[in-house]
Amino acid sequence: MGRAVITGMGVLAPGGVGRDAFWKLLAGGQSATRTLTMFDPAPFRSQLAAEVDFDPRAAGLTERETRRMDRAAQFAVVCTREALTDSGLDLSGVDPARVGVSLGSAVGCTISLEEEYRVLSDEGRQWLVDHTYGVPHLYGYMVPSTLATEVAWQAGAEGPVQLVSTGCTSGLDAVGMGARLIEEGSADIVIAGATDAPLSPITYACFDAIKATSVNNDDPEHASRPFDARRDGIVLGEGAAILVLEEESAARARGARIQAELVGYGQRNNAFHMTGLRPDGREMAEAIRVALREARLDPTAVDYINAHGSGTKQNDRHETAAFKDSLGDHARRVPISSIKSMVGHSLGAIGSIELAACVLALEHQVVPPTANLHVPDPECDLDYVPLVARDHRMNVILNVGSGFGGFQTAVLLAAPGAVRP
């Protein structure tokens, strides 16, 4: 059975375009959250966002590509280019049928779907929307699989191509399932990652309606406060990250720089509530155990946990319990942090953005902090690395996610050669 390794990375996150800017933000404990600028936030309860300052033309997309692609597709394609360049892969010598795509997205082309709806319905006045003004790409916006199509075209992939949409765990599941394509022999190279660009009025209305987002509108830079006793919800974000996965022996044979190995993947569902979490963290703990079992690792092997840390009370307590349940005493010793404190919560994309952060954490041997964590929640009594990044020896990183729909996912990354021969 093949094994999947990461040989390239492209990331587009709030706070700066590209891998270096991303790491600088994280290592500095800086928050990229701010008052929403993409549209007038006045009608909304939560007026905060972690936005990507993105100019598609400056990022290398043509006018045609910019017009055709939803913002989420633009993110994914730009990241794909960066990741392929970073990998040093020469795809011209590769059989396209052996190249696959596994892309995650929770909400697809929301911005374009909503914009087109406003025009065709005359701002909601017409239930029988006017089809004569439908833009040619509208069906492409309605089916989120178009995001994977754009990435496949970019990479010239003709093997298995999939769009994984498991809500807010999409970015972890897409990479975990991308690795499976390599392990089972369906592909030699998989472009894996996730993208979401959900910052639009309907998204804000959705999250307002369930009061899941922060209303700390007067202090936007410090609004995303996972594990802090004063946290009051999610700060919505956007972005993408793409990883190039290759079969290990092929990657070694071409002399690729292996940045990390994917050694474990577990997924479970809580079968409890579409948005609610039980405080015991039982199913997330099970997902972590499944990932450890696959990696043949003891809980004590985990050197750092990149937490879901969305900044809601129920999440923070849920996953704190899950870490204690699955790792036992080791949960009290292992550093844990949430980068959502800095880059917000980009729904389906964040899992892949977090995996990119984990690869960089391995490379630099530095744990990014949980920004804005000043007042610990007594119910969350683990080491969440508040405010300041920490030098730390790491071989194995656990990344977990939790999503609407009850999805609970755990992915284990390891430094090259650290845990398997």
Partner 1 sequence: MNAPVITGMAVVAPTGQSLDQHWSSVLAGRSGIRPIDRFDPASYPVRVAGQVENYVARGTMPSRFVRETDRFTQMGLSAAQAALQDAALDPAELPEYAVAVVTASSSGGTEFGQKEMERLYQHGPSWVSPYQSIAWFYAATSGQISIRHGTKGPAGVLCAEQAGGLDAVALARRLVRDEVKAAIVGGTDASLCPYGLTAQLTSGRLSTVNEPEHAYRPFDASAAGYVPGEGGAMLIVEPAAEAERRGARIHGTVLGHAAGFDPAPWTGRPSALRRTMERALDDAGIGPRDVDVVFADGMAVPADDADEARAIGEVFGGGGVPVTVPKALTGRLHAGGGGLDLVTALLAIRHGCVPHTAATTSVPGSYDLDLVLDEPRPHTVRHAMVLARGHGGFVSAVVLGA
Q: Which of residues 77-106 bind partner 1 (CB under 8 A)?
A: 96-97, 101, 106
Tokens of 75: 């993110």
**Interaction of residue 207 with partner 1, rule CB under 8 A:** yes
| Catalytic one of 109, 308, 318, 358 | 308
Q: Which of these segments, 4-12, 263-271, 320-328, 360-368, binds partner 1 (CB under 8 A)?
A: 263-271
Smaller CB distance to partner 1: residue 113 or 302? 113
| Catalytic one of 79, 222, 345, 358 | 345
Residues linked to residue 305 through DSSP beta bridges, in sequence order:
336, 398
Smaller CB distance to partner 1: residue 125 or 393? 125
**Interaction of residue 137 with partner 1, rule CB under 8 A:** yes
| Catalytic one of 168, 222, 318, 380 | 168
- Least distance (Å) between residue 37 CB and partner 1: 18
Q: What is the dihedral of CA 103, 104, 107, 113, to 10 degrees?
A: -10
Residue pair 288/322 in contact (Cβ under 8 Å)? The answer is yes
**Interaction of residue 173 with partner 1, rule CB under 8 A:** yes
Half-sphere exposure of 418 (CA within 13 A, CB side): 24
Q: Which residue's structure tokens are 């993947």?
A: 265
168 as an active site residue: the answer is: yes
Angle separating helix axes 110-120 and 71-87, nearest 10 degrees:
160
What phi, psi does 58 have (nearest 5°)?
Answer: -65, -30
131 as an active site residue: the answer is: no
Q: CB count, 10 Å around CB of 184?
A: 11
Q: What is the dihedral of CA 416, 289, 227, 337, to 10 degrees?
A: 0
Q: Which of these segments, 52-60, 158-166, 303-311, 376-384, binds partner 1 (CB under 8 A)?
A: 158-166
Mapped onto helix, strand or coil, the DSSP state of residue 264 is strand
- Least distance (Å) between residue 343 CB and partner 1: 21
206 as an active site residue: the answer is: no
Q: Which of 30, 35, 66, 269 binds partner 1 (CB under 8 A)?
A: 269
* Helix H or strand E encompassing 49: strand 48-49
Smaller CB distance to partner 1: residue 101 or 263? 101
* Residues written for the chain: 421
Residue pair 235/346 in contact (Cβ under 8 Å)? The answer is no
365 sits in the region (left: phi over 0; alpha: psi -120 to 50; else beta) called left
Residues linked to residue 78 through DSSP beta bridges, in sequence order:
none
Smaller CB distance to partner 1: residue 21 or 142? 142
**Interaction of residue 124 with partner 1, rule CB under 8 A:** yes
- Least distance (Å) between residue 387 CB and partner 1: 31
Q: Which residue's structure tokens are 């100019």?
A: 55
**Interaction of residue 239 with partner 1, rule CB under 8 A:** no
Tokens of 293: 């079992």
* Helix H or strand E encompassing 325: helix 313-327
- Least distance (Å) between residue 401 CB and partner 1: 13
Smaller CB distance to partner 1: residue 163 or 413? 163
Q: Which of 31, 47, 270, 320 binds partner 1 (CB under 8 A)?
A: 270
Q: Which of these segments, 15-23, 113-121, 298-306, 363-371, binds partner 1 (CB under 8 A)?
A: 113-121
Binding residues for partner 1, rule CB under 8 A, total 83
Smaller CB distance to partner 1: residue 267 or 338? 267
Q: Which residues carry out catalysis?
A: 168, 308, 345
